[in-house]
Amino acid sequence: MTERATPVVFAIDVEPDDPEFPPGSAAPWLGFERCIDLFDEIRDGLERATRSPVRLSWFLRMDPQIERGYGTASWAAERYATQFEHLRRSGDEIGLHTHAWRWGEQQSRWIVDVGNESWIEDCARSSFATYRDVFGERCRAHRSGDRFMSNGLLAVLRELEVDIDLTVEPGMRGVRMARSRPHTADIPDMALVPRIPYVPSQSDWRRPALGQSTGDLLMVPLTSADPGPLLGSWRAAARRVRNGRRVLHRPLLPWAPNVGPRLWDILACDLGSGELTTLAFAMRSHGALDEQSRVALLASVAALERHDLAPSLAFVTATEMRKSWRP
């Protein structure tokens, strides 16, 4: 990656197609299988457009829900060992994507137990231990599931010597989880989280530490921007009035059908003004099964290949971004 290039991390969460699969499941992860083919198709065009190698980050589920559902937390790593070797040969990185789902015996269904700090810690620690057993090295990159982050989880990640986390989504207000999904806490508010990478404070993961060190865990927010230009002048004006003094930016997804190729115009403007310094996107693997999302992603990538922004971008792994970051 050259000094002038803007680093881009494209993260894919590798997980079951259905988040509420039954214990004892052995269903293949078809979304992940499709994702490999999809990004193999995308990679060559992006490399020509950016004039540099395209390296992706795959965040694998190895937590207790996978162990309970598939018999072993390492199920996917073993089932898809050949595919993961292919990705590593392509220069990609394998990180961890942890969820805190727990089987409720009385309810006979999964509970999103993000209100249970000790369970969250157990899920993280067991995932990292399984990763080391399977891959023979410590995991350096992490993404938490269900948009969840807390000071307690951050402390565990630091203890586990994680280099980079890509969980936070600036502009996302705290929202209640769906009543149809049993849970013990709601999604934390991320509206005021910084839009650029930062070393988080130990007392508040939403805020940068006062003395930011290049050796500490780096929080890389998913890319967010004001979608107003995509809405038309009248809808954008109404949105500004409706939101009042609240932030207008929100995460923008290249595969969202309502975003479209104009995404790159918005991001180029924010990169030019310094409001953004990096780009980071995260996609669930089962999104590759949705034809509308797949078509939207291919259209966005094709638009980027033609955009003046492309030569200034470098698609790097999460750990590569961490190594190049300076406070």
- For the chain, where are the E strands, in sequence order? 6-14, 57-60, 93-98, 101-104, 109-112, 141-144, 164-165, 218-219, 224-225, 250-251, 279-284, 313-315
Encode pLDDT of 57-77 as tens digits.
999 999 999 999 999 999 999
Report the half-sphere exposure of 54 (CA within 13 A, side-chain side): 20
Encode pLDDT of 13-44 as tens digits.
999 999 888 898 789 999 999 999 999 999 99
Please state the pTM of the whole predicted model: 0.94
Domains and their CATH numbers in the chain: 6-324 (3.20.20.510)
Q: Which residues of 277-297 are buried (b: 16+ CB within 10 A; e: fewer)?
A: ebbbbbbbbbbbbbeebbebb
Q: Which residues of the chain have pLDDT under 70?
A: 1-3, 175-180, 212-214, 231-244, 248
Distance (Å, whole) CA 183 – CA 110: 9
Residue position matching structure tokens 């299988």: 33
Q: What is the pLDDT of residue 78?
A: 97
Q: What is the pLDDT of residue 260?
A: 76
Nearest to 173 by CA among 254, 270, 248, 238: 248
- How many C-beta atoms lie closer than 10 Å to residue 106's C-beta? 6
